[in-house]
Structure 1
Amino acid sequence: MPPNSRFRRALRPLTALLLAAAALTPVTAAQAEPTRSAAAPSSGWNDYDCRPSAAHPRPIVLVHGTFGNSVDNWLGLAPYLVKRGYCVFSLDYGQLPNVPLFHGLGPVEKSAEQLDAYVDKVLAATGADEADLVGHSQGGMMPRHYLKFLGGADEVNALVGIAPSNHGTTLHGLTKLLDVFPGAREFVDENTPALADQIAGSPFLTKLNEGGDTVPGVTYTVIATKYDQVVTPYASQFLDGPGVTNVLIQDKCAADLSEHVAIGLTDRLAFHEVANALDPAHAKPTTCLSAVS
């Protein structure tokens, strides 16, 4: 077999990994407008003049997923929460040089440091003592490093993870192929550190989950779908420990067919569960009819 053919075959599993990760963020109008700033206020969120109300005293910080950004990942959920009276903010993190719009690719530990600084900025602007965090995919897992190792538990009341990569992913077994083809794992480690960190059994995840999934003083909610094709097996998303609520969205509505992308971007049943987690005193049962509420 010619050398070039062998090289192409060696790259196939790596290509599959990257394509699966890229599925976290579909192309949207925001990506088609390169002059648009991902940090700009959008439909009422990222408004630093917003002051939390007595009904909703904590600002919400939205944490995008791998290959996402602070706008595209939240075109559905951010306006949903703003309409309900929350001060809502979203950050970009995990940027790589010369890679615009597609973020969440840098080392997860460094991304957690960016989240730490951003929460400080939001608290200073709003005058609140604590924030609530809502994250999709990596964005639901990465804040746990901030909570556990960077003092975030003193600044955060609740973490809501939508399809979070809490215990990593096997990508239906594809990650095992990285060790079959010489250089594949090293390529992922060097070029997309966040993908390497999210592989089940990675050194980062081993450290993160040692000693328990949670820290005192923070409530945790995980919202998962059994049709998730990116963070697999889907049950690996769930957490164990005090103050944890694990939700399988199909237990609320068996007809919900959302997969990894849709549950974070468009699924109003998931949004309803987010709202319940943020304001448990006024939670309302989530049913199939919540899609139009």
Structure 2
Amino acid sequence: MRSPIRHRLLAVAAATLLAVTGWSGVAGADTYAPVDRPGPALTAPRLADSLNCTADVRNATREPILLTPATTVDSEQNFGFTYERLFRQLGVPYCTSDSPVDRYNMGDLQVRAQYVTYAIREMYKLAGRPIAVMGHSQGGMIMRWSLRFWPDTRHMVDDVIGMAGTNHGSVVVPALCVPDCAPALWQQRANSEFVKALNSGQETFPGISYTEIYSRTDEFVQPNLDDHGTSSLHGGGGNITNVAVQEVCPLAVPEHLLIGTLDPVTSALAIDALTHPGPADPARIERSVCGRLLMPGAHPVTGPLTFATLTAQVTAQLTVAAHRVPSEPALACYVTARCP
């Protein structure tokens, strides 16, 4: 199960790592809004159409989970054959957040974050308790934009779980932006203005547990060789676990799509975080997981077949000309310190 463009991107990543320095590229804190400044009103269209929840989210008796998908896919494609199946089997309440105007999450991530902000607020009201937000790739990072620029959401979130999250962008993505690419890809470059703003002020917030799961063999999200890589978070007051799947299973080699779908090690770490106070603890994971091919909940026949279809879907979306723009979207006014 390999992405068809994996080998080309790995080669580009190796070359780019030699060429790029200071890849996190965060500017001075005075450039950006203070971390405690209230966020703006939500103006994205059809907010109410963006959230879909199981009935047991209302007055939930356990922590409900908001699922946020990756670039090039929607929630059904990313989680419908994996985590949604598992959560239904376990009786875990959950919601999915999708843009009703940008199904494949290729547009401006600042707009996408408005839907996530709306989802966090609505889920918190429905459940009457703090929630977990769990996502893959773009979806493993986008909730942090909400937490950074809409500070009222922070007390509503107990857990953040990122699976190959692009928390500091990726040095591989620029290869996809020659000569142009989708707005969401421009913004997930390691040196993008979006990434600088995302990590301005502080990366985490007190009272929230962060579990950031990554793979050293990820072909899209790099560098991710250790806990100083792009997915990992540091400082700010949050309770943080940065963990490579190889720390649990040294011989594991999941690529990018597997990490957010069928990978059993990622699933074990995510479930550990959801079923214990604080973030995941790799020491609690039974090493028998290393012998499994699929995460629990995934169908042994249709799961791999769906994954193959998903791989084709991702490749197709990356090549759609209609998604492409010549440069990164400008930062919204509310992101900056000078904004009224």
**Do both proteins adopt the same fold according to a TM-score greater than 0.5, normalized to the shorter chain?**
yes
Structure 1 gaps, min length 5: 1-15, 21-37
CA contact (8 A) 1:159 1:218 kept: yes
2:87 alignment partner in structure 1: 81
1:12 alignment partner in structure 2: none
Q: Which one has more relative contact order, counting CA pairs under 8 Å at least 6 apart? A: 2
* Percent identity for Structure 1 against Structure 2: 27
- 1:110-136, Cα deviation, whole Å (9 max, x unpaired): 1111111122232333x3221100010
CA contact (8 A) 1:138 1:164 kept: yes
1:143 aligns with 2:143: yes
CA contact (8 A) 1:93 1:111 kept: yes
1:269 alignment partner in structure 2: 265
2:124 alignment partner in structure 1: 123
Structure 1 residue 150 displacement after superposition: 1.1
Q: Identify the match of residue 222 of structure 1 among 202, 212, 219.
A: 212
Structure 1 residue 39 displacement after superposition: 7.8
2:169 alignment partner in structure 1: 168
> Normalized against structure 2, the TM-score is what?
0.63
1:286 alignment partner in structure 2: 285
CA contact (8 A) 2:54 2:93 kept: yes
Tell which deviates more after alignment, 87-96 or 138-147: 87-96
1:259 alignment partner in structure 2: 255
Equivalent residue letter for 1:149: F
Compared CA separation, residues 110 and 70, structure 1 to 2 (3 A): same
> For the residues of structure 1 that align with 2:59 and 2:251, how far apart are their CA atoms?
35
2:33 alignment partner in structure 1: none
Structure 1 residue 48 displacement after superposition: 2.8
Equivalent residue letter for 2:54: D
1:32 alignment partner in structure 2: none
1:244 aligns with 2:261: no
Q: Identify the match of residue 193 of structure 1 among 183, 194, 215.
A: 183
> For the residues of structure 2 that align with 1:115 and 1:271, how far apart are their CA atoms?
22
Equivalent residue letter for 1:195: L
- 1:11-59, Cα deviation, whole Å (9 max, x unpaired): xxxxx88xx9xxxxxxxxxxxxxxxxx9897xxxx323445654xx221
2:55 alignment partner in structure 1: 48
Secondary structure of the 2:284 match is coil
> Normalized against structure 1, the TM-score is what?
0.72
> For the residues of structure 1 that align with 2:199 and 2:57, how far apart are their CA atoms?
35
Equivalent residue letter for 2:230: S
1:205 alignment partner in structure 2: 195
Compared CA separation, residues 51 and 83, structure 1 to 2 (3 A): farther
> For the residues of structure 1 that align with 2:233 and 2:57, how far apart are their CA atoms?
32
Q: Identify the match of residue 69 of structure 2 among 64, 76, 79.
A: 64
Equivalent residue letter for 2:94: V
Structure 2 gaps, min length 5: 1-7, 13-48, 297-340
> For the residues of structure 2 that align with 1:93 and 1:169, how far apart are their CA atoms?
23
> For the residues of structure 1 that align with 2:122 and 2:176, how far apart are their CA atoms?
42
CA contact (8 A) 1:94 1:110 kept: no
Structure 1 residue 80 displacement after superposition: 1.8
Secondary structure of the 1:236 match is coil
> For the residues of structure 1 that align with 2:185 and 2:198, how far apart are their CA atoms?
15
- 1:160-218, Cα deviation, whole Å (9 max, x unpaired): 000000000011xx62795xx6xx2xx33xxx211111001101111111222112221
Aligned length: 236
Secondary structure of the 2:63 match is coil
Structure 1 residue 153 displacement after superposition: 0.6
Compared CA separation, residues 228 and 261, structure 1 to 2 (3 A): same
Secondary structure of the 1:115 match is helix
1:5 alignment partner in structure 2: none
- Aligned residues: CA RMSD: 2.8
1:92 alignment partner in structure 2: 98
1:112 aligns with 2:106: no
Secondary structure of the 2:119 match is helix
- 1:79-119, Cα deviation, whole Å (9 max, x unpaired): 223322310111113843xxxx5x11111111111111122
Compared CA separation, residues 230 and 128, structure 1 to 2 (3 A): same
Equivalent residue letter for 1:289: S
CA contact (8 A) 2:169 2:230 kept: yes
